[in-house]
Amino acid sequence: MTLVSLSGYLLFIAFIAYLVGTLLFGGAVKGSKNEASASNKRWGKAGITVTIIGFIAHLGYFITRWMASGHAPVSNMFEFTTAFGMMLVGASILFYFLYKSSAIGLFALPIAVIILGYAAMFPKDIQPLIPALQSYWLTIHVITAAIGESILAISAVAGLIYLLKNVDLTKRSKGRTWLEVVMYTLILVVGFIVVSAGFGASGYEAKFTYVDKNDKPAEIVYHNPPLFGMNQYELQTEGAMEPLAEMPPIINAKTLTTFVWSIITGTIIYLLIRLITRKRVAALLQPLAKKANLQLMDEIGYRSVLIGFPVFSLGALVFAMIWAHEAWSRFWGWDPKEVWALITWLFYAAYLHLRLSRGWEGRKSAWLAVIGFAIIMFNLVAVNLVIAGLHSYA
Amino acid sequence: MSQERDHKRKKRMFVRTAILVVLAAAIIYTIITNVTATGDIVEVGDTAPDFVLTDMDGNAHKLSDYRGEGVFLNFWGTWCGPCKREMPYMEEMYKEFEQKGVHVLAVNIAESDFKVKSFADTYGLTFPIVIDKTNSVRDAYNIRPLPTTFLVGPDGKVKKIIKQEMTGDQIREHMESIMPS
Amino acid sequence: MSSIKCECGHVNPEGTDICQNCGRPLSAEEKEKRLADMRYDGAAIRSMTHKRSIVDKVWNFFSSVKIGVSIIIAILVAAAIGTFLPQVFYVPAANEAQAAQYYEEHYGTFGKIYNALGLSDLYGSWWFMALVGLLGISLVVVSLDRGIPLYKSLKNQRTARHPSFMKRQRLFGEGKVADPDAVMAKAKEKLKEERYRIKEEDGAILAEKGRWSRWGPYVNHAGLIIFLLGVMLRALPGFYVDESMWIREGETLAVKGAPGLFIENKGFSYEVYSKDNAKEVFGEAIDRVGTVASKYQTDVALYKQPENALPGSTEKEYVKDYSIVVNKPLKYEGYSIFQMDFKLDELKSMTFALENKETEKPVGELTIDLANPEKEYDLGNGSKVRILDYYPDFSGFEDGEPQSATPIPNNPAFLFKMFTPEKPEGETSFVAIRQTLEPLGENEYRMAFQNADTRNVSGLTIRKDKTIPIISLGGLIFLLGVAQSSYFNHRRFWIRRTEDGKLLVAGHTNKNWVALKRELDKAAEYAGLPKYSDQRDPEEAIDANTEGDSKA
């Protein structure tokens, strides 16, 4: 067995372990009336054990892939997202031991599973490093930034649990609507995974020639039925669908097509859930959060920002500046990815100030934590795919 | 007690005013220098950076050797249209002002000897033309558009910077402005 | 200006919420609160106390955290808007008009408006810089205004606090114990073990640790201020150089922005990963993506002019050879020279053969160095070729005259005069790529293109940044400050015996209450302190057995 295939197996083991861990943590939260009961503890212990096994396998994937390629596996979308998922699990293990809360595990693991699923939709081959990435600062910068982001993400997990328990879902309110929006967004990501995996399995392909934004001819291959065509497209694959509309050159119609397919699929999944259960998704999850301790969730939310913020500052700003200084000759260049890291940093700085000086605790703080995670995800997903900059390779 | 309080208040007032004024001044200075930055290294009123370059006949020309007389310092290229148009006027004025203590020095930016010679022959130029082969004089003056002309007075200071094509009349006016009195 | 005298006799400055001596609530607001507001230990925030002059008003404005957060949010939103479209420095445009055209062409009306509003150079706009400046002022004022009173308040804090202060702490317990003195002694012992510093005063204990973590916010603010100061210094001349230059293989040029330095390009090389030279595991990726660059390298020699040498003089001393690759700039005397860009295969020389048109018999060959053509090339046997004129970047005719758009040999054209024994008076021919004109009538001979040599051009960037040490120092101090306030906590316990033989216990920390409780539990268990409760939120009272309890 080669290192590469070994690393693939290990990643798969981790994925399965996280699924099992979710169920076990679910048992811990659901199976007992009192969170501190013996049964809760038993299930919780089983949950954390499986999670740790998964994490070790995941770490094994990371190390073997590093050995195979000779560089840290954080240099493209698949690798970075997978590593982020791993660190999210690592952070939730850390917080389990700090606070012995099964609820965090119960909600963090499915998010990690979704993140891994999302990562798997990108090319998984091991790529050699382009010259700009040939620096040990890349490794240090990206890993530290990912650790910081994953710890910050725990605050969003705690915030989500807080909101699920705290927001009254029986009455119409802004909180209820927005909470449902958060759930819907998570389901859209699932929609993306279903679409990519589905069309991927069917082997769908449609090849086009088109004219790019610099007026040069180019080629592109769609892996799902093309809803939108590139600028002055011409279909090359026989029998494939003709696009419904042509896009101007600055819009990547392929990305747009995938995006729209994800929304369609996600919306269908969402509506099916609503139709079958006759409940809001938030209401479906609420029982899982009901036994969580609000004060504890608030504390975890705050603590994770406190722990994560310095790490994030170090990794996403300071190390990034050092690397940029070596590679691009300036430590700051207003590249979109850089700017969004700065925005994330400013946002959490605002969070801390609002909390410390203006007493924004509890629900307000929980909402801020969820928004913070949305900004991190925006930087990971949208900035890479939509706003191309120097980081567009990763 | 009240005197002491009064004293404290005055001190506080002074400290606060000082801090706010210093901060505001620093920020305003930074903004203004950033927004108005032209990238010019040599500005009107500065001493023109000295240099030494060799002309087509092998004579070295050192800017500071012209101290006491005016120098019409023109940066140009053979491919640049406005340069071609103003060169004949420069030649005309050169003949008129050379004896009046205003010299013309034309600095070509890193072109081949062949090209500069053929250009000089075509337009019948007789004033000294030097070639800045390594761009070091161009960099010292931070020349961007061609032609750019520096009027250097008898005191060695830059009197005017012209970043566009000139007519014959303008050239005459400029040369008169740097004539030694 | 008035001051507030507490029941205990201590005179507090105006605006104080909690008596700095005994801890009794002073303000009406504070008295109504169920729990004491411990953010600045109840000290008077300076700005809140003096509101008279305009200076005080400005000062108070910047001292407000609300304003500070508003500035942060404003910068955040502005920064986000700046990422909607590429900023002007990422756009291939040499001037404003070209940029305007680019935005309109590529992004339509939205792009036009975006550019017209100045959003395409948002980060260099005066208002964005002003926002950052306001944040700087806010950082200075807030830190002075809150840090100093907090420092004084903590420095002067009393050991014995009034019961009303203790009762209003989040962790509070009271109860009768058999032997208060013994319990207090044991508690003291246990807390000392937990590395608390203990102060005692007639029947009262103050146990404290980690006070220094309270200075963290002020340390990190100081770091940020130093950082911003460093950035500001860049505006001063000589602090910051940022230039770029193109240099062809074989050329020696002055280093732009670095007077007195010269650089010679000894060769540019460009490598890609291929299945032969790269690790096997990369095979799949190389198949999928195609070409992946592995290395951009410019081999250079660096020269320096002697002291006092003038620009333009040719004397120079060799300094060193270096291979500049991405991520490994050449560093010398504070300057860094980076490999940033390249152009492959610019024409270097062209070889022509002079041949008879009919017989195609060559008379001889000549190679023209496009950067330095000669006037005449002697081919021997009475044949020679003279270059009448040369147009490196031929762009067409204007009034019958051939024109060159730039001095770069992108599209070389020549006006040749060919001399042969048959035509000793010479024949004139205009030769450009894929074009030959015979302006003075039909010729017998022609210049036939044989081959061309090319060379590569390296794009280098030159930086000098004297502010780097200041900026690094600021960054380091910021990180230390953040770590100080995030990873360490200020914890205090007050234990007091009342006259009726009861024991009061109160605890406070600025964060991480779970750990505080854990330590209080240890001390309480060991010494038999009265049972305490967390008074933070009566509806959500934590029962002793919740999952957060570390003993579980």
**C271-304 per-position pLDDT tens digit:** 888 877 777 778 878 877 777 888 899 999 999 9
Contact yes or no for A200/A223 (Cβ under 8 A): yes
Highest-scoring range by mean pLDDT, A89-93, A322-326, C149-153, C420-424: A89-93
Q: What's the DSSP call for residue A218?
A: E
DSSP codes joined into one string, A268-284: HHHHHHHHHH-S-HHHH
Tokens at residue C542, please? Answer: 């934590």
State which H helix or E strand residue B122 sits in: helix B113-123
- Residue A329 in this model has a pLDDT that exceeds 80: no
Looking at the complex, report in whole angstroms how far the Cα of residue C185 sits from the nearest Cα belonging to chain A: 31
Q: What is the pLDDT of residue C188?
A: 87
SS (H, E, C) C275-330: CCCCCHHHHHHHHHHCCCEEEEEEEEEEEECCCCCCCCCCCCEEEEEEEEECCECE
CB contact under 8 A, A306 and C486: yes
CA–CA separation, C215 and C199 (whole Å) = 21
Residues from chain C contacting residue B35 (CB–CB below 8 Å): 124, 126, 129
CB contact under 8 A, A127 and C282: yes
- Residue A97 in this model has a pLDDT that exceeds 80: yes
CB contact under 8 A, B134 and C393: no
User: Which of A153, A154, A163, A198 has its CA nearest to residue A183?
Assistant: A163
User: Which of A219, B103, C146 has its CA nearest to residue A232?
Assistant: A219
- Residue C43 in this model has a pLDDT that exceeds 80: no
Q: What is the pLDDT of residue A336?
A: 87
In the beta sheet, which residues pair with residue C403?
C396
Among C89, C465, C547, the residue to mutate for chain A (most A Cβ within 10 A): C547
CB contact under 8 A, C312 and B139: no
DSSP codes joined into one string, A159-196: HHHHHHHHS-TTS--HHHHHHHHHHHHHHHHHHHHHHH
CA–CA separation, C74 and C131 (whole Å) = 8
Looking at the complex, report in whole angstroms how far the Cα of residue A187 sits from the nearest Cα belonging to chain C: 26
Q: What is the pLDDT of residue A394?
A: 37
SS3 content of chain B, % helix, strand, coil (to 5): 45, 20, 30
Residues from chain B contacting residue C262 (CB–CB below 8 Å): 134, 136
Confidence at C539, pLDDT banded by 50, 70, 90: very low
User: Which of B77, B53, B73 has its CA nearest to residue B130?
Assistant: B53
Among B10, B12, B15, B16, the residue to mutate for chain C (most C Cβ within 10 A): B16
Position with higher pLDDT, C513 vs A155: A155
CA–CA separation, C246 and C253 (whole Å) = 9
Q: What is the pLDDT of residue A390?
A: 41
Rounded (10°) angle between helices A363-385 and A136-166: 140
- Residue A202 in this model has a pLDDT that exceeds 70: yes
Tokens at residue C162, please? Answer: 């009034």
Q: What's the DSSP call for residue A315?
A: I
Q: What is the pLDDT of residue A54?
A: 95
> In this structure, what are the phi and psi dihedrals at residue C320, rounded to the nearest 5 degrees?
-165, 165
Q: What is the dihedral of CA B89, B87, C93, C118, to 10 degrees?
A: -30
CA–CA separation, C17 and C34 (whole Å) = 13
CA–CA separation, C314 and C306 (whole Å) = 10
- Residue C99 in this model has a pLDDT that exceeds 90: no
- Average pLDDT of chain C is 86
* CB burial readout B120-158, b (16+ within 10 A) else e: beeeebebbbbbbbbbbbbbbbbbeebbbbbbbbbebeb
Rounded (10°) angle between helices A336-358 and A363-385: 180
DSSP codes joined into one string, A140-161: HHHHHHHHHHHHHHHHHHHHHH
CB contact under 8 A, C329 and A4: no
Q: C219-243, pLDDT tens digit by residue?
A: 999 999 999 999 988 878 778 888 8
User: Which of A337, A322, A318, A380 has its CA nearest to residue A149?
Assistant: A380
Nearest by CB to C486, which of A34, A99, A307?
Answer: A307
- Residue C189 in this model has a pLDDT that exceeds 90: no
Residues from chain A contacting residue C487 (CB–CB below 8 Å): 306-307, 310
Q: What's the DSSP call for residue B66?
A: G
Confidence at C2, pLDDT banded by 50, 70, 90: low
- CA geometry: angle C457, C458, C460, nearest 5 deg: 150
CA–CA separation, C527 and C516 (whole Å) = 16
Q: What is the pLDDT of residue C307?
A: 83
- Residue C175 in this model has a pLDDT that exceeds 50: yes
Enter the ipTM.
0.88
Residue A30, amino acid: K
Long-range contacts of C543-548 (CB under 8 A, 24+ apart): C545/A34, C545/A36, C546/A35, C546/A36, C546/A293, C546/A296, C547/A35, C547/A36, C547/A40, C547/A99, C547/A100, C547/A101, C547/A102, C547/A293, C547/A296, C548/A99, C548/A100, C548/A101, C548/A293, C548/A295, C548/A296, C548/A299, C548/C514
User: Which of A359, A196, A180 has its CA nearest to residue A285?
Assistant: A180
CA–CA separation, C20 and C36 (whole Å) = 13
Residues from chain A contacting residue C548 (CB–CB below 8 Å): 99-101, 293, 295-296, 299
Residue A316, amino acid: A
Give mean pLDDT, residues C98-105: 87
Tokens at residue C386, please? Answer: 């003279």
- CA geometry: angle A65, A70, A72, nearest 5 deg: 60
CB contact under 8 A, C512 and A303: yes
**pTM for the whole structure:** 0.86
Q: Would you call B129 helix, strand, or coil by DSSP?
A: strand
CA–CA separation, C82 and C71 (whole Å) = 16
Query: Nearest residue on chain C to A5, judged by CA atoms?
Result: C281
Residue B147, preceding bond cis, omega within 30 degrees?
Answer: yes
Please name the residue ranges forming H helices in chain A: 3-30, 38-69, 77-99, 102-119, 136-166, 174-202, 253-277, 281-290, 294-312, 320-327, 336-358, 363-385
Long-range contacts of C19-26 (CB under 8 A, 24+ apart): C19/C162, C19/C165, C20/C153, C20/C156, C20/C157, C21/C158, C22/C158, C22/C160, C22/C161, C22/C162, C22/C165, C23/C158, C23/C161, C23/C162, C23/C164, C23/C165, C23/C166, C24/C162, C24/C164, C24/C165, C25/C164, C25/C165, C25/C168
Residues from chain C contacting residue B27 (CB–CB below 8 Å): 129-130, 133, 136-137, 232
- Residue C547 in this model has a pLDDT that exceeds 50: no
Q: How many CB atoms lie within 10 A of CB C193?
A: 11
Q: C5-23, pLDDT tens digit by residue?
A: 887 878 888 778 888 878 8
Contact yes or no for A125/A4 (Cβ under 8 A): no
- Residue C541 in this model has a pLDDT that exceeds 50: no
DSSP codes joined into one string, C432-485: ETTEEE-TTS--SEEEEEEEEEEEEEEEEEEEEETTHHHHHHHHHHHHHHHHHH
- Average pLDDT of chain A is 86
Tokens at residue C189, please? Answer: 């012992």
Residues from chain C contacting residue A128 (CB–CB below 8 Å): 273, 278-279, 282, 285-286, 292, 294
CA–CA separation, A213 and A251 (whole Å) = 9
Residues from chain C contacting residue B49 (CB–CB below 8 Å): 311
Residue C543 zone, left/alpha/beta (φ > 0; ψ -120 to 50; rest):
beta
Q: What is the pLDDT of residue C542?
A: 37
Per-residue pLDDT of chain B (181 residues; tens, 9 = 90+): 567 777 888 888 888 899 999 999 999 998 988 888 777 788 888 899 999 999 988 899 999 999 999 999 999 999 888 998 999 999 999 999 989 999 999 999 989 999 999 999 989 999 999 999 999 999 999 888 889 999 999 999 999 999 888 998 999 999 999 988 7
Residue C484 burial (10 A CB sphere; 0-12, 13-18, 19+): buried
